[in-house]
Amino acid sequence: MSTDETEPQSSRVLGHGLVYVAGTVLQNGLGLLLLPVVTRVLGVEEYGLAGTGVAVAVMLAIVYGLGISYSSVRYYYDDPPTARSARWAALLRVQVLIAAALAGVTFATGPIWAGVFEDFGWNGALQAAVIYGFAISVQTTTQGILRAARRPVSFVLASLVQAGVGAGLGIALATEHDAVGYIAGLTIGSLLAALIAAGVSYRAPAWDRETISGGIRLGLPAMVHSLANWGLDLAMRLMVAGYLGLAAVGRYQVAFLLGSALTLVLTGIQSAYTPFYVGELSPEERRATPAVLMLPVTAVVLAATMLLVLLAPVLLEILVPSGFHGTELVLGLAAASTIARGAYYVATAVLLDFKRSASLARGSLAGAALAVVLAVALIPTVGVEGAAIAAIAGVMTQAAVVIHDAGRRLGQSLHLPLLVTTWIAGAGALAGLSQIPDSEAGTVVRVALALCVAAGGLLSVQWLRRSFAGARRAAGAPLCSM
């Protein structure tokens, strides 16, 4: 397969992962990067409106895409890299046409469906969000192809354009047009990134009816999965707004954004691991590696989340105004939702390899339903912390369903009972760490614990590398660095 580099694939996984982390943070974490500026330009209530508009845009992007971003990536591995035409290219063109048509219908019916947002109505922010959703849907698929092709440099360049243009225009327009200007700037950045990614990965389409129907069948459960995750995120915001007000939404969004920052890092690493797993490993290696990676990956993620929570007071002080402070516990609980992500991402690579996505939808729907029920019960009595607890339960349920299905298809245990126990215990530990007093004595305790956790994290990384090498050796593969 074509790449931007020439050294052996297996020795580039970690290097590619670091590059994809940077690109993923730019692509999906732009809101986090802009926190120090946006929260000061927009204020608490306008930031809440902008965040809701972005959430709506993400939902529309999911619907517009029909999950084709998932299926086109899987079909990429089936096409010869030197072929003049490709089936994934046909899927991309179908998605763009569908997305454009759906965006037109959404905009035309905006005055009707916007009634759901009683406090907002069919305002400029939601109008801009419709167009932003189209841009995100196309960008997601085109940059997904770059990841499948193992072209991290091109991926990052497109993300840099998105971040540079989108952030610059978003901030500039927000000073005059508030949330509307912010979303409009982000839209322009995403459209430019999509054009660049499409140009770099251009391939003539190989039209095949079975490819189109098969791609849509594979993609629809992935769409439901993404839609359920979006619904959970927006439902939490709307319930916090309904029970506690817009200012609480702004503080909840900031805390959850910071607390889940490591999820972006894991997503970037997965972007390098999945092409390596599906496109490079032998069938024996693909069977052997998931089970041995589950526990060490979880240990690495747990150590990273602990470090994040220990640094939370400093991060809040640097990144956001004082009006957003006082949410250390929410941040710690949000970080706990990341613990399950490491093992979950290993399992999703297995399902992609098998061309199966139904459990993604089942897990997400089950997790979202549980989270909403818990949120209704907890937010009125516990506050924003109740929303965070509900979100944790949803994420862990989703991960458990997917990991169980991956293990079933591999015909082996993926240590699910031990993983769930670790997730729950880790969530309790993170909640406790978040309550260390922000005092001189508390600072000493935080520093000491951070040093211990960092040492444990380094040992976990070595455990992960040894486990990966051992699995490949057992499968009869030549050793190579991860």
pLDDT tier, 25 (very low <50, low <70, confident <90, very high otherwise): low
Structure tokens at 77: 């591995």
Q: Which residue has the tokens 């992962």?
A: 17
Residue type, 85: S
pLDDT (average), residues 418-429: 94
Model pLDDT, residue 386: 84
Residue 247 pLDDT exceeds 60: yes
DSSP output for 331-373:
HHHHHHTTTTHHHHHHHHHHHHHTT--HHHHHHHHHHHHHHHH
The pLDDT tens digits for 428-437 are 999 899 888 8
Instruction: Give pTM, 2 decimals.
Output: 0.76
Give the whole-angstrom CA distance, residue 34 versus residue 42: 11
Task: Please report which helix (H) or strand (E) contains residue 83, including its range.
Answer: none
Tell me the CA end-to-end span of the chain in Å, nearest whole number: 19
DSSP letter at 310?
H
Assign 350 a pLDDT band (cuts: 50, 70, 90): very high
Residue 304 has what pLDDT? Answer: 92
For 24, half-sphere exposure in the C-beta direction (CA atoms, 13 angstrom radius) is 20
Half-sphere exposure of 262 (CA within 13 A, CB side): 25
For 194-216, write each residue's pLDDT tens digit.
Answer: 999 999 988 999 998 888 998 89
Q: What integer is the mean pLDDT of 217-225?
A: 89
Are the CB atoms for 253 and 49 separated by under 8 Å? no
| DSSP SS3 for 405 | helix
Query: Per-residue pLDDT averaged across 322-340, rounded?
Result: 76
Question: DSSP assignment, residue 327?
Answer: -
Q: Is the model's pLDDT at 396 over the cut of 90?
A: yes
Give me the pLDDT at residue 130, please.
94
pLDDT band at 44 (very low <50, low <70, confident <90, very high): low
What's the whole-number average pLDDT of the chain? 83
Cβ atoms of 387 and 375 within 8 Å: the answer is yes
Q: Name, in order, each residue with C-beta under 8 angstroms of 409's C-beta and a sequence gap of 6 or more.
A: 350, 351, 354, 356
With pLDDT > 90 as the criterion, what percentage of the chain qualifies? 32
Place of tokens 């972006």: 264
Residue of 300, 329, 349 lying closest to 392 (CA atoms): 329
Phi-psi region of 207 (alpha: psi -120 to 50; beta: other; left: phi over 0): beta
Q: Could you identify the residue written with the tokens 């990052």?
A: 156
pLDDT at residue 164 tops 90: no
In order of 49, 212, 330, 382, the CA distances from 253 in angstroms are: 11, 38, 10, 17
Mean pLDDT across the stretch 206-231?
A: 87
Q: Which tokens sit at 442?
A: 């508390």
As beta bridge partners, residue 17 has none
Q: Is 8 within 8 Å of 87 (Cβ atoms)?
A: no
3-state secondary structure of 85: strand
Q: What mean pLDDT do residues 154-180 have? A: 85
Cβ atoms 289, 468 nearer than 8 A: yes
Q: In this predicted structure, what is the pLDDT of residue 9?
A: 42
- Strands 85-86 vs 204-205: parallel, antiparallel or unpaired: parallel
Question: Do 391 and 369 form a contact (C-beta atoms < 8 A)?
Answer: no
Question: Does 56 have pLDDT greater than 90?
Answer: no
Mean pLDDT (whole number) for 321-325: 60
